[in-house]
Amino acid sequence: MVNVLIIGSGARESALGQAFLVSPQVAQVFVAPGNPGMSLLGLTVLPVREDHFTALIAFARDHVALTFVGPEQPLAAGIVDAFTAAGLTIFGPTAQTAQLESSKQFAKAFMARHRLPTAQATVAHSLAEAQAAVAATGIPVVVKADGLAAGKGVTVALTQAAADAALVALYTDHPGASVLIEQYLQGEEASVLSMYNGTARVLFPLAQDHKRRNDGDLGPNTGGMGAISPAPQFTAAQHDQAVALVDQTLAGMAADGLAGSGVLYLGLMFTAAGPKLLEYNLRFGDPETQVLLPQVQNDFYQLTVDLLAGTAEPLNLTGQTYVGVVAAHPGYPKQTTPALPVLTPDQAARNYWLPAGVGLGANGLVTAGGRVFTVVGSGATLAAAQRDAYTKMAPLQGELAIRTDIGAKGLR
């Protein structure tokens, strides 16, 4: 039996922890820094910050066979390089490869070099340059701050006033910032995830995130308010187009010397003119992971170590559809104080309650962040999975906020 260390603290890491814990080969799963809700799932919280590489390496050397990285920040900061240099086994991309996510300019240059379809974009370095780029692109327009922003650095501006407001806010906070001014794309959005090593890959079913805060895809962008998978609105032909873009990307990475393992996540927009890349993430998505991993019946530890050794196992899926609904602090994505109580799930609910921004208060669990937990429902169809998710959420929601329409687009 072996132990596994997961880096991160969200509902994605709760789902990863569950996946590793059911492996017959895994004794204990540590999560650093984790959150106090995770112990209810049988995970062991390790109170070490995700950027404290020396302490994580010292722990991993003595206690675990494999480390798996959830979030983008430690990847961009070189956690995989540091573990590898220390001779430890870790799944994830190097800092160089992680730039496909951490730098929108790096990603755009990569897509151009390898002829991957994406929205036209201009990089601006001042308010005047940005305003000129908006005028040249036309409205609607998309304004993206370069660098990691957890999905919140993007403004889809439907009016000139909204574009102006976004630019003035960005350049007031960060004078001289690199800002991408991008052509607006219309269509259905898909999250296409795979685990890879070189050009070998394990492809997950297509998922759909719900990034806007409010029902009907209104309100500000968030890290994600819910997800579904498989997403029935995508045709077999669209699925094949997505797979082709995954393989084209992996071939481009190999050609550029971006070697190694990791998760490749394509944010795709299926437009009238075909699929276009919105972004790359070099990690599992949150909340997509919460609806992807329950589909997988393979031993997830074995799947990961096989891939590290160069072998991509075929996935053995449950065939069910999954819907994940995020419970958030009512102030999210802005203010997430004061802390509110988080209802403790009963024993049965611990199979589908995945804690994220949860802390320990004087009288039990309290909120400690924007997205507090994900509840996952399942069923033979999307409609059944949606019903199951909301039925399971009802007794757990308390004072928290949810979207009530996760999966609605897939049912149309």
**Angle at the Cα of 60 (from 56 to 63), degrees rounded to 5?**
135
Tell me the number of residues near ligand AMP by CB under 6 A. Answer: 16
Q: Least distance from C-beta 370 to ligand GLY, angstroms?
A: 13
DSSP string, 10-45: SHHHHHHHHHHHTSTTEEEEEEEE--TTGGGGT-EE
Nearest-angstrom CA–CA distance, 18 and 14: 6
Q: Based on CB atoms, which residue is closest to ligand AMP, 165 or 315?
A: 165
Cβ at position 189, least distance to ligand AMP in Å:
5
Instruction: Give residues 349-408 in contact with ligand AMP (rule: CB under 6 A).
Output: none
Residue 333 CB, nearest approach to ligand GLY (Å): 13
Q: Are 157 and 191 in contact (CB under 8 A)?
A: no
Binding mask 239-278 for ligand AMP (x = CB under 6 A): ----------------------------x----------x
Which token pair is 33?
Answer: 């820094």
Measured from the CB atom, the residue of 230 and 285 that comes closer to ligand GLY is 285
Total number of residues shown for the chain:
412
Among residues 16, 57, 133, 142, the one that binds ligand AMP under rule CB under 6 A: 142
Residue number, 215 or 306, with CB nearest to ligand GLY:
215
Residue 122 near residue 163, CB atoms below 8 Å: no
Binding segment toward ligand AMP, per CB under 6 A, in 79-87, 158-166, 178-186, 232-240: 178-186
The answer to whether 324 contacts ligand GLY (rule: CB under 6 A) is: no
Q: 203 near 250, Cβ under 8 Å?
A: no
Residue 40: name the closest of 342, 407, 390, 261 by CA. 342
Binding part of the chain for ligand AMP, among 85-93, 182-190, 296-304, 369-377 by CB under 6 A, reads: 182-190
Among ligand GLY, ligand AMP, none, partner that 371 touches (CB below 5 to 8 angstroms by kind): none
Does residue 38 interact with ligand AMP by CB under 6 A? Answer: no
Residue 279 binding target from ligand GLY, ligand AMP, none, CB below 5 to 8 Å by type: ligand AMP
CB 305 → ligand GLY: shortest distance, Å? Answer: 24
Quick check: helix, strand or coil at residue 295? helix
**Cα 188–Cα 193–Cα 199 angle in degrees, nearest 5:** 125
CA–CA dist 29, 65 (Å, integer): 11
Radius of gyration of the chain (CA): 20
Identity (one letter) of the amino acid at 392?
A: K
Burial 271-300 (b: 16+ CB within 10 A, else e): eeeebbbbbbbbbbbbbbbbbbbbbbebbb
Map residues 278-297 to x or -, x wherever contact with ligand GLY holds by CB under 6 A: ---x---xx-x---------
- Which residues 197-226 are close enough to bind ligand GLY by CB under 6 A? 209, 224
Which CB sits closer to ligand AMP, 224 or 355?
Answer: 224
Q: Does 211 engage in binding with ligand AMP (CB under 6 A)? A: yes
Nearest-approach distance from CB 267 to ligand AMP, in angstroms: 4
What is the maximum span of the chain, computed from C-alpha positions, in angstroms?
61
Q: Taking a C-beta distance cutoff of 8 angstroms, is the pair 321, 380 a contact?
A: yes
The Cα 92–Cα 100 span in angstroms is 13
Collapsing DSSP to helix, strand or coil, 248 comes out as helix
CB 388 within 8 Å of CB 377:
yes
> With respect to ligand GLY, which residue has the nearer C-beta, 164 or 188?
188
The answer to the question of residue 222 lying near ligand AMP (CB under 6 A) is: no
Q: Is 13 in the site for ligand GLY (CB under 6 A)?
A: no
Give the distance from CA 263 to its chain's centroid: 10
Of these, 13, 182, 299, 388, which contacts ligand AMP (CB under 6 A)? 182
Question: Binders of ligand GLY: how many residues, by CB under 6 A?
Answer: 7
Summarize the chain as % helix, strand, coil (round to 5).
35, 30, 35
For residue 164, how far is the Cα from the chain centroid?
A: 29
Nearest to 151 by CA among 211, 225, 77: 211
Nearest to 246 by CA among 232, 267, 224: 267
Q: Going residue by residue from 141 to 160, which x/- string records binding to ligand GLY, judged by CB under 6 A? A: ----------x---------
In this complex, which beta carbon is closest to ligand GLY, that of residue 31 or of residue 193? 193
The contact set with ligand AMP (CB under 6 A) reads 119, 142, 144, 151, 154, 156, 182-185, 189, 211, 221, 267, 278-279
Binding site for ligand GLY (CB under 6 A): 151, 209, 224, 281, 285-286, 288
